[in-house]
Amino acid sequence: MARQRKENNVKIKLRQPDRSGPGPSEETLLSMAEKRGLLKTPDAGLKDENLDEPVIGRLAESILWTITLTMLHFTLDVLVTHQYAVELSWPVIVKRSAQAFPIIMLLFYSFHPHPSPSLLLPRLPPRIQPLLHQLLFFVTSVSAGCYLIHVSNTYGYYAVMKQAPGLGCLWIWSVIELDLLGAAASLLCCIGFLKLGGYSYL
């Protein structure tokens, strides 16, 4: 049998809460935090020192970029195979992408700019390093783009299938590494090569 609750005859008087705020003698959480120094922001000098430190190391950054560029290589390989209506062999495409991974990793680790210097290349003066970086990737971008245009217009389908994914990946990476002006100039050079050479882009 269920128990019956006794009615509570105690009546609580209802009223509005006090919204006037704490009195001057009462200590609030904000004043306690201020006394302990929890609300102080770090000095500007400390911020500048932290900005100089790399967020992620050269090796970790290289691995992240290499995974992305390997996925791009895999995608270009699939697209080129589809273009020539060749039957897709997934193990072969995965094997080619796996072979490209260490090569992309080595190139990216060596030539991508990073606050920590590369162990594989000699250290250069900081003044000329950005200029050499832009020059190297400008030449690589123009060379890879023009050669890809030449290969896809003059060689047979088997040679294009073998060379186009790697060249396309190298071309895109080189354009990404360039400043906006250098990237636009390299693309204009490739367009000029396409037009002056009488090549077709379809």
Count CB atoms within 10 A of the CB of residue 30. 11
Whether residue 181 lies inside any domain: the answer is yes
Residue 45: phi and psi, rounded to 5, are -65, -40
Residues 178, 138 contacting (CB under 8 angstroms): yes
Q: Which of 96, 118, 97 is nearest to 106 (CA)?
A: 118
Helix ranges (DSSP H) in the chain: 29-35, 44-52, 58-83, 90-111, 129-154, 157-177, 180-196
Task: Indicate the pLDDT class of residue 5, thresholds 50, 70 and 90.
Answer: low
pLDDT tens digits for range 45-82: 444 455 555 567 888 999 999 999 999 999 999 999 88
Give the number of domains in the chain.
1
Whether residue 86 lies inside any domain: the answer is yes
How far apart CA 96 and CA 202 sit, in angstroms, is 25
**Whether the predicted model's global pTM rises above the 0.85 cut:** no
Place of tokens 């250069």: 124
| Residue 151 domain boundaries | 56-196
What 3-state DSSP class applies to 183? helix
Q: Which of 190, 188, 184, 199 is nearest to 168 (CA)?
A: 190
Whether residue 27 lies inside any domain: the answer is no
Whether residue 132 lies inside any domain: the answer is yes
Whether residue 201 lies inside any domain: the answer is no
Whether residue 36 lies inside any domain: the answer is no
Q: How far is CA 29 from the centre of its chain?
A: 42
pLDDT tens digits for range 159-176: 888 999 999 999 999 999
Whether residue 161 lies inside any domain: the answer is yes
pLDDT tens digits for range 24-52: 667 777 788 788 877 776 554 444 455 55
